[in-house]
Copies of this chain bind each other. A is one copy, B any other.
Amino acid sequence: MDIVVENIYLLVIVTLISVLQNAFFANKVEQECKAPNAHNTSAFERVSCANRNCMDVYPTFLAVMWCAGLCLNQAPAAFAGIIYIVVRHKYFVGYMGQTSQSTPGFLFGKRILSFLFLMCVVGIFNYLLVRYYGSNYREYVDIITKASSALLLLP
């Protein structure tokens, strides 16, 4: 059992942080919902909309992060997950502060999700290469992945 945990513990930690963030978002909605005269104000609508946009993408994010972590390497996947959580926090706060005319778009964190998606593709491709040709580039791939994950820090 500990062999399993060894390969996923970073992913579990990032998942737990994202769950905490979900709870924070849901609490914000609950708070606005219970405020007097809340249902008519735009504050409730904005926070509810921001929460729904975040929740819509959440299963996709979890799926891509776990697949990337299982297929290739958990460290860069967890790192990208952390950055995604930061970006999502900025998006949520930005959504609440804006007037409804200038809301940020529906999508966010495209670069990070693309990076995780690419990690999955590389991992699957590497597995198929090993299986059918016997050539193993995993070491090089790991180094390249870890180095390129630092690029996500660029604004």
Contact = CB atoms under 8 A, between A and B. Distances in A.
B57 A58 contact: no
Given A5-B70, A60-B19, A63-B62, A12 B120 contact: yes
Contacts of A128: 9
Interface stretch (A27-35, A79-87, A90-98, A147-155): A27-35
A16 B1 CA distance: 23
Size category of the binding interface on chain A: 35 or more
A33 B106 contact: yes
Please state the number of chain copies in the assembly.
3
B55 A5 contact: no
B5 A71 contact: yes
Contact of A5 (B26, B105, B127): B127
Interface string A115-130: 0010011011001101
7 contacts: A4-B70, A6-B131, A12-B124, A16-B64, A23-B113, A58-B59, A59-B62
